[in-house]
A and B are shown apart, each in its own frame.
Chain A
Amino acid sequence: MTDDNVFTTRELEVYYGAFRAVREVNLDIRRGEITAFIGPSGCGKSTVLRCFNRMNDLIPGAKVGGKVEYHGIDLYDEQVNAVEVRRRIGMVFQKANPFPKSIYDNVAYGPRLAGVKKRDELDQVVESALRGAALWDDVKDRLKESGLGLSGGQQQRLCIARATAVEPEVLLMDEPCSALDPIATARIEDLMQEMKDRYTIIIVTHNMQQAARVSDRTAFFSTEVNPESDRRTGVLVEYDLTKKMFSNPGDERTEAYVTGRFG
């Protein structure tokens, strides 16, 4: 593992009860890059994403095997505080999920929990996070209004502002644009490019062109059918520079998936 790697997984596997959802994932996630996870439904890409901030801890029966290291520290070590992990490694979900609070309180929520009390300090954090999420100009005159009153794309950017207000190092995005129209999608994609200098981003997307447009590296996951149980287990097929994955992939299965030739 080099200093450039934020995450390293070795032989990562995740079980939901007795069912092995994903197996033997070996990945190095580079600092300051956008990494995209692509693959058909059930291939384990969201499951692997959730391992990076221990969101799987919250799913009853989920068990993580193998290793996930964050800057060389075992994320699943007993000493590691999952809440602290989630502060450093933020997450944005498929469906924008603002709290039923004002725009201001949505963004100030994390910093308040982290102990920021002073009003002017909070104001500054909120403004900076909203600016960072390209939302400030849209909402600066209605910070006291409910976050639920914003459009879908604005709500998603509010969630990004909320996630970044606590100054995480990593942003995990689980299909952040799948409920948005093309213009709102383009805004989020532009935002990702702007945020790249400050955060390491991992995005799960069903939209292959989105992966091609925004990411530096792409990991392609697929499923393998277990002949005995007829259950499907996710595997990492290929992981390389995005330009390579979309112009000359090394694995036939990647080629078949990115071209949409077989399903």
Chain B
Amino acid sequence: MDELRRSYHHELDKARADLAVLAAKVAELIPQATQVLLDGDLVRAEAIISGDADIDASAVEIEEHCIEILALQAPVAGELRQVLALMKMIAEVERSGDLVANLCKAARRMYGHELDPRIRGIIARMGQQAQALYATAIEAIQSNDASKAAALDDMDAYLDALQKQFIAIMIESKNGDVDLQLAVQLAMVARFYERIGDHAVNVGERVMYTVTGKVPDHSKPKRPKVQLDEAGNPLPSATQEP
């Protein structure tokens, strides 16, 4: 059989590729924002914050492209699911870009404060894990790969555990002289990383929807929690089923 409606399929592929590129831009900014936090680099912080407008503009452009495809081509079946998933994923990626900018805004507010080495260590790990989640989400988008998408949930469990450990360390050090303003900012930093991970998971769910047609079900039981050692390394799960 010959392929028909080729230019329309080209448009669909282009919208998906554009989203993958946008997600890659956000993913590249995650380690940069982490470095900004650790080094107190206000120049770099400013560049990332002002660059968010470009990400927002690209997101609007891709969304308009999707609307055009819906209006002019009336996609159905797998192609309809692809466009609908793209529309949802654009919002996830755009919001992740905002969170990266928020990390840099937090760095500005924390400027001049010395960070506890353990806190620095966990910030670095959260940055790495959030970036790893995004890298996997991008691969899932690029090839509509359901297995990549399915891996995101487990990867996110580790990021969630890091966030919890981060907060626990802050509470432990309360007897010292942690500045309240600093503590609030740090709690938000941990939250921003954790939310970036959640958005990557949501992207994965939409890839799954594209492939299987199943709308994500958030009422399902929660995934098992990951336990960490003192240095923030995941411990082997004690409750794993044989």
Could you list which residues of chain A lie within 8 angstroms of chain B, going by C-beta atoms?
Answer: 208-209, 212, 245-249, 254-256, 258-263
Does B1 lie within 8 Å of A259, measured CB to CB?
A: no
Does B76 lie within 8 Å of A247, measured CB to CB?
A: yes
**Distance between Cα atoms of A260 and B1 in the complex (Å):** 12
Does B1 lie within 8 Å of A258, measured CB to CB?
A: no
Given A247-B213, A248-B213, verify A263-B77 contact (CB < 8 Å).
no
The residue on A at minimum CB distance from B4 is A263
Q: How far is the CB of B146 from chain A (nearest CB, A)?
A: 14
Residues of B within 8 Å of A, CB-based: how many? Answer: 16
**Distance between Cα atoms of A258 and B75 in the complex (Å):** 9
Does B5 lie within 8 Å of A260, measured CB to CB?
A: yes
Q: How far is the CB of A257 from chain B (nearest CB, A)?
A: 9
Does B2 lie within 8 Å of A259, measured CB to CB?
A: no
Does A261 lie within 8 Å of B3, measured CB to CB?
A: yes
Q: Which residues of chain B are near A259, meaning CB under 8 Å? A: 5, 75-79
**Distance between Cα atoms of A209 and B74 in the complex (Å):** 9
Does A255 lie within 8 Å of B77, measured CB to CB?
A: yes
**Distance between Cα atoms of A254 and B76 in the complex (Å):** 11
Does B77 lie within 8 Å of A246, measured CB to CB?
A: yes
The residue on A at minimum CB distance from B6 is A261
**Distance between Cα atoms of A209 and B73 in the complex (Å):** 11
Q: Which residues of chain B are near A260, meaning CB under 8 Å? A: 4-5
Given A247-B213, A248-B213, verify A255-B5 contact (CB < 8 Å).
no
**Distance between Cα atoms of A247 and B75 in the complex (Å):** 9
Does B74 lie within 8 Å of A261, measured CB to CB?
A: no
Does A258 lie within 8 Å of B4, measured CB to CB?
A: no
**Distance between Cα atoms of A183 and B78 in the complex (Å):** 30
Given A247-B213, A248-B81, A248-B213, verify A261-B76 contact (CB < 8 Å).
no
B38-74 CB mask vs A (1 if < 8 Å, else 0) is 0000000000000000000000000000000000001
**Distance between Cα atoms of A263 and B79 in the complex (Å):** 16
Q: How far is the CB of A256 from chain B (nearest CB, A)?
A: 7
Provide a sorted-by-A list of 12 A–B residue pairs whose CB atoms are within 8 angstroms.
A247-B80, A247-B213, A248-B78, A254-B77, A255-B78, A256-B1, A258-B76, A259-B77, A260-B4, A261-B4, A262-B3, A263-B1
Q: How far is the CB of A35 from chain B (nearest CB, A)?
A: 18
Q: Which residues of chain A are near B213, meaning CB under 8 Å? A: 247-248
Given A212-B76, A246-B76, A247-B76, verify A261-B9 contact (CB < 8 Å).
yes
Q: Which residues of chain B are near A261, meaning CB under 8 Å? A: 3-5, 9, 79
Q: Which residues of chain A are near B9, meaning CB under 8 Å? A: 261
**Distance between Cα atoms of A262 and B6 in the complex (Å):** 10
Q: How far is the CB of B206 from chain A (nearest CB, A)?
A: 15
Interface residues of B in 69-109 (CB under 8 A from A): 74-81
Q: Which residues of chain A are near B2, meaning CB under 8 Å? A: 262-263
**Distance between Cα atoms of A91 and B74 in the complex (Å):** 31
**Distance between Cα atoms of A177 and B213 in the complex (Å):** 32
**Distance between Cα atoms of A212 and B9 in the complex (Å):** 21
The residue on B at minimum CB distance from A252 is B78
Q: Which residues of chain B are near A249, meaning CB under 8 Å? A: 77
**Distance between Cα atoms of A256 and B79 in the complex (Å):** 10
Q: How far is the CB of A261 from chain B (nearest CB, A)?
A: 6
Q: How far is the CB of A258 from chain B (nearest CB, A)?
A: 5
The residue on A at minimum CB distance from B1 is A262
Interface residues of B in 2-36 (CB under 8 A from A): 2-5, 9
Most central of B2, B4, B76, B212 by chain A CB within 10 Å: B76
Q: How far is the CB of A242 from chain B (nearest CB, A)?
A: 11
Taking A258-B77, A259-B75, A262-B4 as known contacts, 15 extra A-B pairs with beta carbons closer than 8 A to each other, sorted by chain A number, are: A245-B77, A246-B76, A246-B80, A247-B77, A247-B80, A248-B212, A255-B78, A256-B1, A258-B76, A259-B79, A260-B4, A261-B4, A261-B9, A261-B79, A262-B3
**Distance between Cα atoms of A262 and B76 in the complex (Å):** 14
**Distance between Cα atoms of A209 and B81 in the complex (Å):** 17
Q: Which residues of chain B are near A256, meaning CB under 8 Å? A: 1
**Distance between Cα atoms of A245 and B4 in the complex (Å):** 20
The residue on A at minimum CB distance from B78 is A255
Q: Which residues of chain A are near B81, meaning CB under 8 Å? A: 247-248
Q: Which residues of chain B are near A209, meaning CB under 8 Å? A: 74
Q: Which residues of chain B are near A208, meaning CB under 8 Å? A: 76
Q: Which residues of chain A are near B75, meaning CB under 8 Å? A: 259
**Distance between Cα atoms of A245 and B77 in the complex (Å):** 7
Most central of B74, B77, B213 by chain A CB within 10 Å: B77
**Distance between Cα atoms of A249 and B212 in the complex (Å):** 10
Q: Which residues of chain A are near B79, meaning CB under 8 Å? A: 259, 261
**Distance between Cα atoms of A6 and B15 in the complex (Å):** 46
**Distance between Cα atoms of A262 and B77 in the complex (Å):** 14
